[in-house]
Structure 1
Amino acid sequence: MTQISLIIPVRNRQHYTQNILSQIFQQIPQANTDNISVISVIIVDDDSTDGTREMIRRQFPNVYLIEGDGNLWWTGGICLGMNYAIDKLDSDYLVWLNDDISLSDNFLNNLIDICQSPLYNNTIVGGIVRDKTYSDWIVFSGMHKKQPIRSMDYFATAEARSVDTLNGNIAIIPRVVVDKLGFPDADRFRHYGGDFEFVSRANKSGFNVILSSKLQATTDYNLNDLIRYMPPLLQWYLQPNTAKRIQILKGFTNLKSNYNIWHMVNIIYQDSQHVPFWRYAILYVRQVIKLLVSDFLLLSKTETTLKNYLKQQNAPEETIQGLINYRTKSI
């Protein structure tokens, strides 16, 4: 019997946690009709204070609830859940899920099909997260040749395509991958980058990595989400307000920021076992100087970079116009 563990790290997002668990347990009865697979749900709660744990115990007693101390962040939570899935549940497949997504109606059926297929015994399989409003806009998926996959056109010729790495919003990790590589690096990639680094490491070690259109979910991806995932230079350009620019500068030393200095340096030197402190310091200084001089020396280049970025991201025209209006109002 195939043991499949769904691992969801959460913290202080009770509504999202309740929503994703409701979806999962609505689908489990239909998905478990094959009698050859068992789906377990592991929630790693990193010391929530909003009643998340109490809600889980009350409404979802079959969930395996692991309690953190508030210092796990995403990667630490995923590692704790993966270790539990292997050590306590003897799982064959470990499935990473984010809590802020809405699963497709046949999500668990498709997931089981993938886990049961001998084609994927040694393959990490990622899923796609589309925007709820613009169905062709993929907002989380994976990367191929350093380019993010952002359109359903990518699957025009095949429902699954090879990629180099994946987002951790939806990912199936076979047990054999963990047996060989261990867990994601929670020391160097505490919140951002743990998914990319682990999947990249697996790819370099000979495991196949694919992105499957059979595993789908949606999310509300608004203008603020688009902006906060942009490189800091583009955020700086779009938000000329002094107070907001101070927050952008603070992002370099904030683990909640996707461009924090530890994430950026360790992505660059992910194949190095040790990164000296001076590399962090130098990159920090360079990034700050780049922002401070960009209004004077890099303005036209930044405008071109923004256009190319939005094209690469497959951003809908309405969203692009909203971005233009946003900057106009900020000036």
Structure 2
Amino acid sequence: MKIAAIMTCHNRRNKTIAAISKLHEAAEAAGIAPSVWITDDGSRDGTRDALLKLDLAVNVIDGDGSLYWGGGTYKAFQAALNARDDFDFFLLLNDDTDLYPGALVKLLDCYTAGRGRDKPRIVVGATVGVNSEDCSYGGLIRGRILKKMSFRRIGIKQFSVECDSMNGNCVLIDKASVAILGPNDPTFKHTLGDLDYGLRAKRSGIEILQSAGAVGVCERNSIPGSYLDTSLPLKRRVKLMAGVKGFPFPQWYIFCRRHGGGLWIYHLLMPYINFFWRHLTRNLRLNVQR
């Protein structure tokens, strides 16, 4: 069995090396030897050199620092495909995700359980936060009608659950799914790319399951310092929201046109309306309290 782990990194040397080490521990428990395809997106902290020193099958693809998660993942994914090594699976793995020793066994067991012959399937691994049992990333359930562009995490379950989409922190994709979908769409530079991949998979008839339990540890992105941080001035929050790691309008526009159905304009505008409305009502409440 051949598995290509698809990763991207930028200036997180210790986290990146730890994630790859945990991946290989999980691979040994599953009796497999994955190859790692990782884009080093212009790291300046010695990440690339540390990767090349690993006594493991690690293929480093160079980036220029402008790729972010979407572009870096795409380059690594495409490099693995170009190798024409007939991989059975592709594993999307964030470089801050530390897998448990039994993670790959759990993902592969979920993949084979009750699967129809030649039916493509994607298996999502749920993660928990550091020193927490709460789900940080994993499979997602989509809202309906007016909430169609809202997604909620399934949470940690002791059984496999069908998903509408997923976070891309730990996702096992079989070659049949990749033959249909190809790699992730680099149009989405940092956010939305994993959601887009999952929604395209569902639309193509590909089954998405979240495996039972948690497969590893990955801390949630923090709110302080982001566009969701209400302690920041509005001008700063708007700038962050428009940035690559925020909620950039051009990418959200493409996402809504692609997945929003007949109400795509409504879905396109609502996050921005809600953003300014919440800012306004919060300021009003603060003024009243004074």
Structures share fold, TM-score greater than 0.5: yes
Q: Which residue in 2 is equivalent to 1:176?
A: 176
Q: Is the 8 A contact 2:137 2:218 kept in 1?
A: no
Q: CA deviation at 1:213?
A: 2.2
Q: What CA RMSD, in Å, does the superposition of the two structures yield over aligned residues?
A: 3.1
Q: Which residue in 2 is equivalent to 1:52?
A: 47
Contiguous gaps of at least 5 residues in structure 1: 273-278, 304-326
Q: Which residue in 2 is equivalent to 1:270?
A: 258
Deviates most, 70-79 or 50-59 = 70-79
Contiguous gaps of at least 5 residues in structure 2: 144-150
Q: Which residue in 2 is equivalent to 1:143?
A: 140
Q: Any idea what SS the aligned residue of 1:132 has? A: coil
Alpha-carbon distance in 1 for matches of 2:78, 2:236? 36
Q: CA deviation at 1:179?
A: 1.2
Q: Which residue in 2 is equivalent to 1:255?
A: 244
1:122-271 alignment runs, 5 A limit: 122-135=120-133, 137-146=134-143, 147-149=151-153, 151-152=155-156, 155=157, 159-187=159-187, 189-214=188-213, 216-221=215-220, 225-226=222-223, 235=228, 238-239=230-231, 241-242=232-233, 245-257=234-246, 259-271=247-259
Alpha-carbon distance in 1 for matches of 2:59, 2:249? 34
Q: Per-residue CA shift, 1:136-192, capped at 9, x if unaligned?
A: x1111122133412533xx25xx11111000000111111112122222212x1211
Which is richer in helix?
1
Q: CA deviation at 1:112?
A: 4.1
1:286-325 alignment runs, 5 A limit: 287=272, 291=275, 294-296=278-280, 298-299=281-282
Residues paired across the two proteins, number: 271
Alpha-carbon distance in 1 for matches of 2:49, 2:242? 33
Q: Name the TM-score, length of structure 2 as normaliser.
A: 0.81
Structure 1 stretches (4+) deviating beyond 4 angstroms?
114-118, 226-229, 289-296
Q: Is the 8 A contact 1:131 1:218 kept in 2?
A: yes
Q: CA deviation at 1:290?
A: 6.0
Q: Any idea what SS the aligned residue of 1:270 has? A: helix
Q: CA deviation at 1:114?
A: 4.5
Q: CA deviation at 1:85?
A: 2.2
Alpha-carbon distance in 2 for matches of 1:149, 1:295? 25
Q: Which residue in 2 is equivalent to 1:307?
A: none
Alpha-carbon distance in 1 for matches of 2:225, 2:124? 23
Alpha-carbon distance in 1 for matches of 2:127, 2:8? 17
Q: Any idea what SS the aligned residue of 1:99 has? A: coil
Q: Any idea what SS the aligned residue of 1:50 has? A: coil
Alpha-carbon distance in 1 for matches of 2:224, 2:86? 41
Alpha-carbon distance in 2 for matches of 1:62, 1:78? 18
Residues 1:193 and 1:291: Cα distance change in structure 2 (over 3 Å): closer
Task: Quote the sequence identity (%).
Answer: 24
One-letter identity of the residue aligned with 1:264: W
Based on CA coordinates, which of the two structures has the bigger radius of gyration?
Answer: 1
Residues 1:215 and 1:80: Cα distance change in structure 2 (over 3 Å): farther
Q: Name the TM-score, length of structure 1 as normaliser.
A: 0.71
Q: Is the 8 A contact 1:101 1:219 kept in 2?
A: yes
Q: Which residue in 2 is equivalent to 1:321?
A: none
